[in-house]
Homo-oligomer: A and B are copies of this chain.
Amino acid sequence: MAKPVRISVIGAGSATFSLGLVKDLCLTENLAGSSVSFMDIDAERLAAVTKMAERYTAEIGSDLSFEYTTSREDSLKDADFVINTAAVQSHYHQVDMRAVYGKHGYYYSGPGFGSYYNFNLMLDVARDMERICPDAWLIQSGNPVFDGCTLMTRQTSIKVCGLCHGHYGYHHIARTLGLDLDRIDFQAPGVNHCIWMTHFLYDGEDAYPLIDKWIEEQGPEYWDTHVAERTHDIQLSRGAVHQYRLYGLFPIGDSPRLVNWWYHTDIETKKWWFGEPFGGPDTHIARPVHVENLEKRLGQIREASADPDAKMTDLFGTTKTREQQVPIIDALTNNVEGQFQVNVPNNGAIEGIDDDVVVEVPAVINIKGIQPIQVGKLPRKIMLEQLLPMILQMEHGLEAYKTGDKSMLLWNALNNGQTQSYKQAFGALEDILGQPGNEAANEHFRFPWPEGHESVYLEE
């Protein structure tokens, strides 16, 4: 089979993402003749991306066609697939927020209003799809995948598949241990950003003992002396191994970095658990490096974009990315069956999780659709300490979003491990909601009592 499709990309202003997608499409013969509609609210970036896409396609001799628009409705028209990669608030805004957190005694992150803006955007996209292209697949590629996909699949009738890179974290383990990726069998189910490596085999044999040996023989020296080159390079950090010790399975990708507040109280603690020099990706040292790398890349792209002689194929390469979007489109459209790591409603794939919670599991994808593999039970301790609390937090976040109940934000703030008093959480939340850029959230969330009444409950 070889059938062209029409793909709408929401948030297409990201050149790295969009050109990666174009490359994968160009390199997938089955999808020859497909058309892509780039949509973003930034018309200038959109035009630049589209131009680059056309140059890339011309260089490589593909017949993909492109259009771009700032109208989501136009972009969605006749779409077979919608890829949503948009995020509402920027890195720079996050930097401002972090300063507020610091003022209130929180390191790096603190009280907030959840994913208010991204939830709005996701629901807007999914609801537009219900009207305009109700049979299209939505491939959700922007965060929060877990919460957002659960929200969209509950509130709309759209078919949603959430994607994330995190599960590739096992590549880092393999590299560090000197293992050949092709000889590994791997599985890591859970919910997005909380997945656990239930299977790690090498040539068909359990390879966990190889990790144990590495920890025993090389772990302590690695933790004392290793200097990470990349901010996200934490897969064998003391913190990740500590979680392995606690749970008997490795947390993969983003999983070790986001849980257990006590790893994250200050920069020295973070360095202890996640290594020098960054302390993992979520520190005031790491983040600027990450943003700088993004900017550097953006600079290269801008430069090449402005230079009519530059080769787009030099800039973006001519080998497929490891992104799953295009292979999944090919599988669903042309029956090129494969197994993928996807985020879809549980429906029994993991035991003990409600059917309507979006889980991250391996799935067989072909023309029949996305069919998750039933992975059964995860260890009870992981359920009780990691997955169920995270699911409860997600449900709490969705309820807060739905009701606009500000006291639910406060409750969340109070349950932040770094919070030491009611007053601290209250003050930080008020301050965050009062920041420029957060006006709509501030408008949405209201205490369930008359204005000013909360002051009665603030210790003097």
B414 touches A245 (CB 8 A): no
Residue among A242, A262, A405 with max Cβ neighbours from chain B (10 Å): A262
A456 located at the interface, meaning its Cβ lies under 8 Å from any Cβ of chain B in the complex: yes
Distance (whole angstroms) from the CB of A257 to the closest CB of chain B: 16
Taking A245-B448, A246-B448, A269-B459 as contacts, is the C-beta distance between A420 and B420 under 8 angstroms? yes
* A443-460 at interface with B (beta carbon < 8 Å): 448-449, 453, 456-457, 459
A34 beta carbon closer than 8 Å to chain B: no
Q: Which residues of B contact A261 (CB under 8 A)?
A: 414
Residue in B260, B262, B272, B407 whose CB lies within 8 Å of A246: B407
- A242 CB contacts on chain B under 8 angstroms: 457
**Interface presence of A90 (CB below 8 A):** no
**Whole-angstrom CA separation of A261 from B269 in the bound complex:** 24
Comparing A62-70, A184-192, A377-385, A432-440, the segment that makes contact with chain B is A377-385
Residue of B238, B269, B388, B459 near A272 (CB, 8 A) is B459
Interface string of A399-416 (1 = CB under 8 A from B): 100010101100100110
The answer, yes or no, to whether A396 is at the interface (CB within 8 Å) is yes
For the complex, what is the distance from the CA of A396 to the CA of B389, rounded to whole Å? Answer: 11
From A220, which residue of chain B is reached at the shortest CB distance?
A: B456
Tell me how many residues of A have a C-beta within 8 Å of chain B.
44
Contact: B414 with A399, CB < 8 Å? no
A208 within 8 A of B: no
How far is A325 from B272 in the complex, measured between Cα atoms in Å?
Answer: 55
Known: A262-B419, A457-B238, A457-B245. A388 touches B392 (CB 8 A): yes
- Residues on B with beta carbons closer than 8 Å to the beta carbon of A421: 262, 265, 269
Q: Which residue of B lies closest to A385 (CB)?
A: B411
Query: Is A248 an interface position by the 8 A CB rule?
Result: yes
Q: How far does the Cβ of A271 sit from chain B's closest Cβ, in whole Å?
A: 10
Interface residue A395 (Cβ < 8 Å from any Cβ of B): yes
Q: Which residues of B contact A316 (CB under 8 A)?
A: none
Decide if B384 touches A265 in the complex (CB within 8 Å): no
CB distance from A427 to the nearest CB of B (A): 13
In the complex, chain B residues whose CB is within 8 Å of the CB of A408: 381, 385
| CB nearest to A403 among chain B residues | B381
Q: A414 touches which one: B262, B420, B453 (CB < 8 A)? A: B262
Q: Is the CB of A399 within 8 A of B420?
A: no
Interface positions, chain A 207-235, Cβ under 8 Å from B, are 219-220
User: Is A358 interfacial (CB 8 A cutoff)?
Assistant: no
CA distance A428 to B51 in the complex (A): 62
Given A245-B457, A262-B414, A420-B420, the answer on whether A381 and B405 have CB atoms closer than 8 Å is: yes
Residue contacts A-B, CB under 8 angstroms, 19 given: A219-B456, A220-B456, A238-B457, A242-B457, A245-B407, A245-B448, A246-B407, A246-B448, A262-B425, A263-B422, A265-B420, A272-B459, A381-B399, A384-B396, A385-B408, A392-B392, A414-B417, A417-B419, A420-B420
If A219-B456, A261-B414 are given as contacts, then 16 extra A-B residue pairs at C-beta distance below 8 Å, sorted by A number, are: A245-B407, A245-B453, A246-B407, A246-B411, A246-B448, A260-B414, A265-B420, A272-B459, A381-B403, A384-B392, A384-B395, A384-B396, A388-B392, A415-B417, A417-B419, A420-B420
Chain A positions within 8 Å of B, measured between CB atoms, are: 219-220, 238, 242, 245-246, 248, 260-263, 265, 268-269, 272, 380-381, 384-385, 388-389, 392, 395-396, 399, 403, 405, 407-408, 411, 414-415, 417, 419-422, 425, 448-449, 453, 456-457, 459
